[in-house]
Every structure is written in structure tokens, then in C-alpha cells.
Structure 1
Amino acid sequence: MEYFKHMKRLGEALFELLSEALGLQPDHLNSIGCSKGCSTVTHYYPPCPQPELTLGVRKHADAGILTVLLQNHMGGLQVLHDSQWFDVHPTRGGLVINVGDLLQVLSNNKFKSVKHRAVSSHVGPRISVACFFSGHASLLDKPFGPIKKLISEANPPRYEEFLLKEYFAKFFASSLDTKPPIDYYKL
């Protein structure tokens, strides 16, 4: 519970910094509920004698707004860049911050979510703790789209507005679909 409390405070601080990076007031992203709706998921990937034959988590971008990831020294996280996979080497005491698809939408593409995956190892277990910030449940039935203050003639909206509950329904059904949920709302 103590860890979760610290992650919520870290999330609030990160959303303040991200708001400022977008040229908004520091409290903007927190005020619209971005730091609410935080959930924590832990993963344990046992050592695998033939890691090339298995995958921890398939290629995906995080559906939510922001993810804070703590991983042990084994690594296993990879990001996709220019059609090539790169290892994200763990840093002792460090955290990995992933921009999710919803922050890409809110920022009108100023921040980009990244495709990533987790791979197994034959050396030892991979352990990770992910804290997902997906917005408060009260946002599920409200229109969601690019922040109006970021839209202009020179920077038109890149996404149409949508309901979060519809977006999450598409995300959780995406194993049956090859189209990422964010693509349904691109203009």
C-alpha cells in the first residue's frame, strides 16, 4: 500500500511536468482526472530454457494515459523503433515511464506512445510492477479527445472525440483485431 501511495504522488508530479511541456498550466492534466484511476499489475516471467520460443507479452502500446514501470535487474523489456527491437536495460533504482495511447490523443500527437513487448530469459526470472494511469472512472461516459487549447489552424485535431468506454472495449477486444484501438479515431 505504501508503494501504491508513492506511485500516485509520482503520477501527479509527472502529470504536472507533462502539462508544462504541453504549454499548459501545471495542474491541467491532473484537473481533468489523468492521475486518477491508477491500477497496479505485477508480472513474473520464470526462467525459460528456450526463450526464443516464447514471449512474455506481445507487441502493444499501453492503452491508458501513462505507465510507470519498475523492473528487476533481468530486463526483458524491448521497444520497437524503425522496425527494430531494442532492449531497455534496467537501471538500479530507476523507473520506466511509458506514454500511453490516451496521452498521445490528449496531446494531439505531441507525445507518442511506443510499441513494446516483454521477452523471457533463460538466466533468471523477470519481475515487473506496472502502475497504469488510465483516468478516473467518471471519464468513461464523457467525450475524450485532443485538449482544445492545443488545437489551432496550424495544429488541427489528429483524432476525433470518442467515449473512453468504447475505446477500452476496442482495446480489450484487440487480440481479435489487427488494428490498434487508437487508429479507429484518427482523422
Structure 2
Amino acid sequence: MGCAEGVLMVGQYYPPCPEPELTYAISEHADSCFLTVLIQDQVGGLQVLHENQWVDVHPELLSEHNPPVYRETALRDYLTHFYGKGLAGTSALSHFRI
């Protein structure tokens, strides 16, 4: 039927580290997916680079006061753009911004 074509789900789990002072966080990167779901605890962790500052993300749903900032797109179109732009450490989302 093709309804699941291009569907991919990746799960990550990072258990608490007994010696966090000896570890490093993941380096800055752009996710390849169009949607990232992060279940956070009291530590948090998801940040975005906004105006050269790393800012904590507190996920919010769309509303009248919080309208979408990206145009609707198909996963296939997003992935085509993402893999076509190359790995420059830049987000593919700017291409879809309203």
C-alpha cells in the first residue's frame, strides 16, 4: 500500500551515569527527523541554537497564540531535502519555515 514507505523510528535511552563528571554530552547536531519526541526528567537536556545561544526547549502544542512556524510537508519531501543538502551541521527545517 505504500503508507509506511519511508517511515523510520529511532529510540535512544541514556541511563543515569554514576560518574557524570567523567562524561561528555552529545555534540551539537541537526536531527534528520521532522519530529523529535524527548521524554525528559528533572535534568532536561533538549536545547536549540537560537541567535548564537543554546536555549532549553520546553515543548508546547500549537494554539491560536502559538501558531505553526513551518509549512506542512510530506516525510518523503523532508528527507529528500535533508539528504540532498549535505552534512554541514545546519538544520533542514529552515527550508520549510513559513
> TM-score, length-normalised on structure 2?
0.48
Larger Rg: 1
> TM-score, length-normalised on structure 1?
0.30
Higher helix share: 1
Higher strand share: 1
| Bigger RCO (CA 8 Å, 6+ sep) | 2
